[in-house]
Every structure is written in structure tokens, then in C-alpha cells.
Structure 1
Amino acid sequence: MSDTQSQGVARSFLLEPDGPYDLAASVRFLEGFTPAAYAPNDDPGLRIAFPVDGTWEPGGALVTSAEHSANVRVECFGEASPDAVLTQIRRILSLDIDGSGYAGVLERDPVLRSLAARRPGLRPVLFFSPYEAAAWAIIGTRIRMTQAAAIKARMARDLGAAVDVGGKIVHAFPAPAVLRDLKSFPGLFGRKVEYLRALGEFAEDRLLDVERLRSTGFDDAKQQLMDLPGIG
């Protein structure tokens, strides 16, 4: 059961995307992406929580559109460093990528131009971390995506930290230390608990560090991920 409620004071940042971006397009994508289990609501933007890479402290963010511009405002909450939360939000929403040359690409590629016209301002929306992506892959093996999403959401609610994100509680996925000591959980069968325990150990040993994976050659990074129990 969640027994940690993080109540860090908000710190606000204003991000200016390099190139086109529409926060509403990111929100719509998450609402339709089953693994995210992000239900439509009356929030003015995006309200999420997660264990922050490396320290695994709970962090949360309320991301809203700045008035009359493509800029976005990020309010950071929780125990984690606001700068670390901001870095993760930038990566999740692909705002760490320079998209200023996108218009030129669209001019040269009619197929991509047609796709972009149907989803204006949409950038790739990533899993909150490689750790959570790997957990999803293990949880979702041999069951329907809707079942896996429900299990992952219950794990966040029952085992993760509860983060007060601008006055609303959002449950983060459990930190690696919690998975490392996991004994059982409803809906997890076969060797899934064993694999999640191993994932917790891998993450705590920083083997899923984002910058390390990004700086590793594709083939080597792929092999390292395939070596995770329950993945390869």
C-alpha cells in the first residue's frame, strides 16, 4: 500500500521548444496509448509522476501550455530534484530534441508532410524511463495490453509513492528497491516476479542509465537490454 506522500514545493520552468510542438497532441497520444493508462480528465495539461532516473526519488510534474505560444510551463513536485524532474519531462515529451529543421524535412517529403498534417505538433512521447519500459515489457508478456496496463496501474497505486502534483495525488510506479524485494503481486504469474526483482537490481546498479545507454552503440545497447531476464 502506498505510504509515501511527497509534498515538495513546486518549482516552475518555462520551456521553449526548438521547432513545432503542441502539448495537447502529446496528451491525446497518452490518452490513447494503453500502457500509459492515462485517462482523459479535466486537467489543463499533463499531470504525471515517476521515480526519477538514478536517485529513484519520487517526482511529479504538471505540464501546461503557455498562453498564445508553443511554450510549455513545467511545475515540478515531489522529493526529487526539480532539475532532475525537468530533465526527465523534456525527454519524455521529446523536448530535448532540436526540431527546428523539421519544416525543411516536410518540404522534401510529401508522405511525412501528409502524416504531420494529421498530427500537427506531435512529437514522440516516450516511456517515463527505460526502467519503466522494461517493467512494462515483463508485465505485459502473454496477456492483453489492457490487463497489463491495469496491473501496472495497481502496482503504482499499491506499491509506488503518492505524489501531490499541484493538489492532486498521482501514483508513481514503484522504485527499483521495491521491485527488488517483491515477493508476489496479483496478476503476475510464472517467472514475472522473479524477472521484476532482477530488473530492480539492474536499475539500482545503473545498468539502465539513460545517458549510458544513449552513449553506447546501438548493437551494444540492444544486447545489454536483451540480457535483462524476461526481456531477451
Structure 2
Amino acid sequence: MRTELRLDLPAGYRTQDVLAFHSRDTEGLAEQVSPAGLRKGILLDGVPVVLEVAFEADAARCTVDADGGLTEALLKQAHEALLNILGLRIDPAAFAASVCDDPVLGPVVARQPGLRIVQSATIFEALTWAIIGQQINLPFAISLRRTFIGLAGRPHTSGLWCYPEAQDVARLTLEDLTTRKFSRAKAETLLRFAGLVADGKVALDRDRPVDEVVEELLAIKGIGPWTVNYALLRGYGYPDCSLQGDVAIRTAFHRLLGGDERPGIAATEKLLARFAPHRTMAAAYLWASLADSPS
């Protein structure tokens, strides 16, 4: 069953950033990107769903294509996922106004106005991707993610694969993952986390207090502060994540501030504190600064 939605886009919306984020897997197993839009496969309440987005001048024309009936609850989940993958959760204007005179990030923001945080379709996807990507390079992480989708996900009738839900991952065995290049620790963490979510012992609810979310996630063996903050950023859309443990953030500060060496984690935490309560957008611009050069 298919239905269409129209989401208004703000002035200066950076379509290319969204397309770039969703085109990282060049094999296009669960995401397909074209210059005009994208298609994203995701399992929602056990139903294979493809979210199609066609960009217009001031709007995103979206189609929700489900292999089955489209209930009101499923349509609501699809709408939430579209807000995530289009980066419409956090308005960057407040951060831009707060740093217009900042000597570090002010010039970066001036060169790249309107940068947004593009998110994973669901909180579960954000957390599992964070676990998969821990302490390995990006190409290998993308390869493992593709394997993960092939093991636990399901194909939509259109042929696009759908990112799995917790119940799908919890059915895997340790050997399913370790025989396909996942480290034992990474595999154990993925299965442990998925099992807790599938059993209802961990609730991935966007409306919960952030301190409660952090405490619950940190109690899971194998999930540390970096993974939690990444999930808050890419999954929950929390506007004030502090990613002092992220190597790219520390590298960006080093390039922007100079000095003999990259700042340590404690020093980076202090540097990020000046941008509260907008540290998520600060992280986005610090990442962007690594590929940015003054004209």
C-alpha cells in the first residue's frame, strides 16, 4: 500500500548534504540515491517499508510504500523516519546566531550556512550503526553494515533491502556475525542490545528524559559514552551532544586552533562546553570543517 506526504523544506535547505549522507554505501543495498531524491528501506513493526523522497524547490514529496496495510501507527512511524532522514529535527538557526562572532566556528558557519544534522531513520538504526562503526575505519564499517542488513533485514517487494528491527537482530546467533568479520565483542554487543530492546527491557522512546536514556544505555555492556552521544545525535535528535571522544572532532579543533598536537578528550570537552546548549550543531560544523577551506 502506498501513500504520499509533502514536507515543507526551509529556505536554503541543503539537499546535497542529505543525498551524500545516504549514499555512503555505494552498493545501495538499503538506500538508493539519485540527483533528484532517494529511496530508503526500513522495517517498521515488522512491515517492509520503502520511503521515497523527491526533492522540489521548497518541499520534499514523499511516498510511503509498505508491503501490507498502512495503519495510522505505521504511517506515524514513517513520518518520524522521514523527519530524521531529511535532517528536519534540529533547526540550525539558533546555533548560527550564537556563534556569529565566535572566532573558531563563526567563520566555518559563515562559509557553510544552513548545515543540518541528518539522522538514521530510527533510533535502533542509529544505535546499531554506532556499535558497528566503533573503532574501525568507515569503509569497513559500511561493509559490515551491509552484511548486517543482509543477515537480519528483509527485502521489500521492490527489491530494496530494509534495515532490521530489534526482533530481527535478536534472532541471529553469535556465529552468524563472527563468521562474517564481526569481532566477538561487537557481535555480542549487537545481540545483547537487540535482545534487551526486543524483550522490552530497553525502551527507545524519543520523549524520555535524556538523562534517563543515557543511564539506561550506559548500563549495557559494550556501549560507552561515545556510542551513546552518537545515538543521541543521529537517533534521538538531541541538540546538545558532547562528542569529546570523537577523533574527528579533536582533529577539527586542532586544525582550527593550531598547536603542536591534537587536544585530548578532557580539553576537547572544555572546548565544546562553550557551545552548549547547541553542541550537536557544533559537532556538525567541526566535522564539516575538515573538508572545508577558506576561499
| Same fold, judged at TM 0.5 (above) | yes
TM-fit CA distance, 1:93: 2.4
Give the stretch that moved more between structures: 18-27 or 221-230: 18-27
Q: Given residue 163 of structure 1, which amino acid in structure 2 is its aligned partner?
A: H
What is the aligned counterpart of 2:159 among 139, 147, 169?
A: 169
TM-fit CA distance, 1:153: 0.8
TM-fit CA distance, 1:158: 3.7
Normalising by structure 2, report the TM-score. Answer: 0.60
Higher Rg of the two aligned structures:
2
Matched, 1:193 2:187: yes
What is the aligned counterpart of 2:197 among 189, 203, 211?
A: 203
Q: Given residue 222 of structure 1, which amino acid in structure 2 is its aligned partner?
A: V
Backbone CA RMSD of aligned residues: 3.2
The structure with higher relative contact order (CA 8 Å, sep 6+) is 1
Normalising by structure 1, report the TM-score. Answer: 0.74
Give the stretch that moved more between structures: 138-147 or 179-188: 138-147
TM-fit CA distance, 1:145: 2.5
What is the aligned counterpart of 1:74 among 62, 74, 99?
A: 62
What is the aligned counterpart of 2:42 among 50, 61, 78?
A: 50
Cα deviations by residue, 1:142-186 (Å, 9 ceiling, x for unpaired):
43232121011122134311124xxx5321222211211211221
Contact kept in structure 2, 1:180 and 1:197, CA below 8 Å: yes
Cα deviations by residue, 1:11-40 (Å, 9 ceiling, x for unpaired):
111111356423233112443599x99888
**Secondary structure of the structure 1 residue equivalent to 2:160:** strand
**Secondary structure of the structure 2 residue equivalent to 1:136:** helix
| Distance change >3 Å, CA 135–CA 103, structure 1 → 2 | closer
Contact kept in structure 2, 1:49 and 1:60, CA below 8 Å: yes
Matched, 1:149 2:156: no
Contact kept in structure 1, 2:53 and 2:61, CA below 8 Å: yes
The answer for unaligned runs of 5 or more in structure 1 is: 1-8
- Map 1:100-139; keep pairs closer than 5 Å: 102=93, 105-106=96-97, 109-110=100-101, 114-139=107-132
Matched, 1:87 2:87: no
| Distance change >3 Å, CA 70–CA 107, structure 1 → 2 | farther
In 1: Cα distance, 2:125 partner to 2:95 partner = 34
Q: Given residue 40 of structure 2, which amino acid in structure 1 is its aligned partner?
A: I
Name whichever structure is richer in helix by fraction: 2
Q: Given residue 59 of structure 2, which amino acid in structure 1 is its aligned partner?
A: N
What is the aligned counterpart of 1:180 among 164, 170, 173?
A: 170
Q: Given residue 193 of structure 1, which amino acid in structure 2 is its aligned partner?
A: A
Matched, 1:62 2:57: no
**Secondary structure of the structure 2 residue equivalent to 1:229:** coil
**Secondary structure of the structure 2 residue equivalent to 1:215:** coil
Contact kept in structure 1, 2:85 and 2:118, CA below 8 Å: yes
Cα deviations by residue, 1:204-225 (Å, 9 ceiling, x for unpaired):
21724232xx431x33321211
In 1: Cα distance, 2:120 partner to 2:41 partner = 12
Q: Given residue 159 of structure 2, which amino acid in structure 1 is its aligned partner?
A: I
In 2: Cα distance, 1:46 partner to 1:146 partner = 21
Cα deviations by residue, 1:34-91 (Å, 9 ceiling, x for unpaired):
9x99888545212111233xx253322111112xx32111111124623321221113
**Secondary structure of the structure 2 residue equivalent to 1:182:** coil
| Distance change >3 Å, CA 176–CA 41, structure 1 → 2 | closer
Give the stretch that moved more between structures: 222-231 or 201-210: 201-210
Identity of aligned residues (%): 20
In 1: Cα distance, 2:36 partner to 2:128 partner = 29
